[in-house]
Structure 1
């Protein structure tokens, strides 16, 4: 049975003194947060309700600047930093979110030094960042952290360019 709620974003940091936070969509997917959306913040805290309503969303290019009902000062915003934002599947267009996720699967990944690493076969979500599992003939399985220092170019279609950090490729293969 599919869960009624889906992780859609993670609160990265507070922004300003009025309770706004920077939230980034998970798995490099497009944002689906909208004003009026009822969401759950996890893990829950003792001093606030787990559920709240999104009051405003502004795309910053580096995530969304989000205001939640009841989070109205810097201390409250700091209290939800690191929380995941879960939304009811009925409150957003799941097809477009799943389509963006599946668009990454099977895409070729090329490193600037090592050439073609293979294709993305899985996307793992970790608390720090997502990780692409790339499989290819030359290097076998390579785990690519989805972070700014590694992912150089992520076009809507075609080959993804990366800079693999030292130690991530098993050169004995």
Structure 2
């Protein structure tokens, strides 16, 4: 099974290094020296990682055969893809690979059907489940512990405890303005 583990960003320096946007919780396992990764677009790879280092909070990689800035810049926006065993589980408890979460049924704690996970969006602050509802509409569910209370891979379901307004129209609207005493509406 293939897993997208990073996206190549801009070139860094003149010796072929590139910045990467990491898309795995296990970069030391997937993006270490010697790792051979396929690419999207396929014509850019496969790429073998020669070196890696962190600079100013960003991961920098250099690939075998990419020795100058022009070659590095040509790889910009290329996705790096690792081959993994479909039975492999992430190291941490309560961690999942995207392919394990895709197509899970989403239900509330009382068993009400919400829909099915069709996509997972990885944002800087949190991940979002894109859930297709039975009527074909979509709802975005933040993948945070307070909302997604249980993932049951055997039952193929995600149990959620949504705040008011997340999946329905019962949002609580609070106003910061109070009618001041003595003021009347005109």
Which consecutive segments of 4 or more residues in structure 1 shift more than 4 A? 128-131, 170-173
Q: What pairs up with 1:1-173 in 2 under 5 angstroms?
A: 3=1, 5-26=2-23, 29-31=25-27, 32-45=30-43, 48=44, 50-60=45-55, 62-89=57-84, 95-96=90-91, 100-101=95-96, 124-125=120-121, 131-132=127-128, 133-134=141-142, 136-141=162-167
Count of aligned positions: 118
When normalised by structure 2's length, the TM-score is 0.50
Q: Which has the higher contact order (CA 8 A, sep 6+)?
A: 1
Instruction: Give the deviation of 1:66 after TM superposition.
Output: 0.3
**Alignment root-mean-square deviation, CA:** 3.5
When normalised by structure 1's length, the TM-score is 0.54
Summarize the Cα distance change of 1:98–1:82 in structure 2 as closer, same or farther, 3 Å threshold.
Answer: farther
Larger radius of gyration: 2
Segments of 5+ residues of structure 2 without an aligned counterpart are 102-115, 129-140, 148-161, 174-186
> Per residue, is there more helix in 1 or in 2?
1
Segments of 5+ residues of structure 1 without an aligned counterpart are 106-120, 142-169
